Structure formats: structure tokens, C-alpha cells
Structure 1
């Protein structure tokens, strides 16, 4: 069995379930529609939890590691916020339902994020010593935080749109 086959077979099943879920969410986002803030929070929450678990597991309480990851989140959040600057967001304040235009950026972002996280996690599983390599760790933490931040920034844009809605009904926001 070659290395690629070994990696694929030794990957936990939850990783493949997560990938299927992310693809499903990305495809669904390509259609305009109504959703709730709770549903929109799932992807940023998943990547945040995955990141927190990974950093805690590999770096413990290292202020440098947490600082690099948080710096990545801040930069990514700004990008995520800007990605939705032209999106049409309308909120029904009486139900809290948010209508959003199609988001063609989500599926590619989810796939790239998954591949990068999977690649780094695989490299760290195969060679745990990489976590002590400053350059590798910085790349891993900044990219992991950056992509997580993109999803957080997009969610913050949706959250801001919902906060600007008035109780009188449907209000454009963005």
C-alpha cells in the first residue's frame, strides 16, 4: 500500500463525515435563500473548535502559538467581512430569518481550508516533531487561524446585518 492510500485509510471517519458536511454546506450556499444565524454559526464554530483542540493538543498554553493563531483569525476576519461587502442581506426582524444572496465563495473556501488543515494535521501526525519547528508552526497557526477567521468574519457580517434590522419587518442590510 502506498503512502497516500495509508493516509486515506488511517484518517478517522469523522474527518470524512466533516468533509461531506462542508461540501453540502458549500453547495447549499450557492443558492440564495433564507437561513438563521444559528445555521450560519455552524461552520465558524466547527473550525474554531477544531483549531482550539489542535492548538491545545500540540502547543498547550504557549502564548506564541495562541498569539499566532489569533493574529491569523484577526486577519482572516477582515477578509471574511470584505467578502460579503456586496452581498444582499435582508433580515425579517419579526422572525430573525436572514435572506442572503448566493455565496459562491463558501465552497472553494471550505475545500481549501479543509485541504490545508488536513495537510498540516497529517504532517503533524506523521512527524510530531514539526510542532517544535518555528517556521512550520507559524505557517500552520497563521493559516489555520486565517481561514477560521474568514468564516468568523463572514458570520460577523451576517450578525451585523441582523442587528441593523428594525422590528417593522424586512430591512436590507449589509
Structure 2
């Protein structure tokens, strides 16, 4: 029990802030909402900027980039696939996308946070792990996965929004029989 309290006490405050943000955003996603394409871009954009900033500030960028990219590519597919099955509505007159409530982001965010936290704690407790490239790069792969999921989800929803505009233009241009 002493080790657990030492781990919690040794965790930087900003990590708990990140956890709080994940819980807040996940709880918000539980409820249906309406977002403009710009509003829909904010959270994925912030995650992408933070992820890239963290990656680019590393002194081992060349070692970490393949891990981050692999996670990001996998995440793009998962996020896009998830967004494609969502039953969304598009309100072209108000420029809004209606998104159903889902626990996906809460559950996914907590899982990714937990995995990354466990890896970082394990490396802190076992210095030999941090010397091995796989373990050193694994948190970056998890970060890439989350970033890719967010970006893939966003891109898929934006494509669906834009396609609805095209469908609307085509139906207005089609002559009536």
C-alpha cells in the first residue's frame, strides 16, 4: 500500500489534470450534442498539437516517430470506423452536426490513460525498462493511437458533413420529372 501512495504522490499534478479533462470530455460525450464543423475540430486539434509538441520535443525523435506513426495510423482507422457507424444528423441551414451520446470516448480515454500511466509508472520503478527502446517508445505509440483515433473520428464526420452538402446541391440541381 505504501508503494501505491508513493506512486500517486509522485505523479505530477498536470497528469491528474489530464485525467480530469479526459473524464470531463468523456462525460460530455455521453450526451447527444450539436456541433459546428469548427467546434468539432477543437478537441482533435488540441490533442494533435499536444501530441506533436510532446513528440517533437523528445531528444529521441528518430527512434520514437515510427512508434507514434504506427499508433496514429491504427488510431485513424479505428476513429474513422467508429464515426462511420454513428447515426449523425446534418442540419445544413444552421451548419451543425447532430451527434448521439456515446460512452466510447470516456471508456477509450480512460483505457488509453491507464495504459500509458501504467507504462510510465513501470518504467519509473524499473529503470532498466526505460533503457529499452520498445518500453521507452510505447507511451508514444499509445499517444499516437489516441491522436489518430481523434483525428480519424473528426475527419470521418467532416467528410460526412461535406458529402451531405454535395447531396443537397445535387438534389436542388436535379430537374423534377
**What TM-score, normalized by structure 2, do the two folds share?**
0.77
**Alignment partner, residue 41 of structure 2:** 41
The 1:23–1:109 alpha-carbon spacing in structure 2 relative to 1, beyond 3 Å, is same
CA distance in 2 between partners of 1:137 and 1:27 (Å)? 31
CA distance in 2 between partners of 1:20 and 1:39 (Å)? 21
Shift of 1:46: 4.2
The 1:45–1:122 alpha-carbon spacing in structure 2 relative to 1, beyond 3 Å, is farther
The 8 Å contact of residues 25 and 106 in structure 2, kept in 1 or not, is answered as yes
The 1:66–1:131 alpha-carbon spacing in structure 2 relative to 1, beyond 3 Å, is farther
CA distance in 1 between partners of 2:143 and 2:114 (Å)? 11
- 1:136-157 CA distance string (max 9 Å, x none): 1353333332232112211111
CA distance in 2 between partners of 1:78 and 1:111 (Å)? 19
Corresponding residue pairs, total: 168
SS of alignment partner, residue 85 of structure 1: helix
**Structure 2 regions of 5+ residues with no counterpart?**
170-177
**Structure 1 regions of 5+ residues with no counterpart?**
170-174
The 8 Å contact of residues 68 and 141 in structure 2, kept in 1 or not, is answered as yes
Shift of 1:82: 0.8
CA distance in 2 between partners of 1:132 and 1:52 (Å)? 23
**What TM-score, normalized by structure 1, do the two folds share?**
0.78
Please state which structure has a larger fraction of its residues in helix: 2
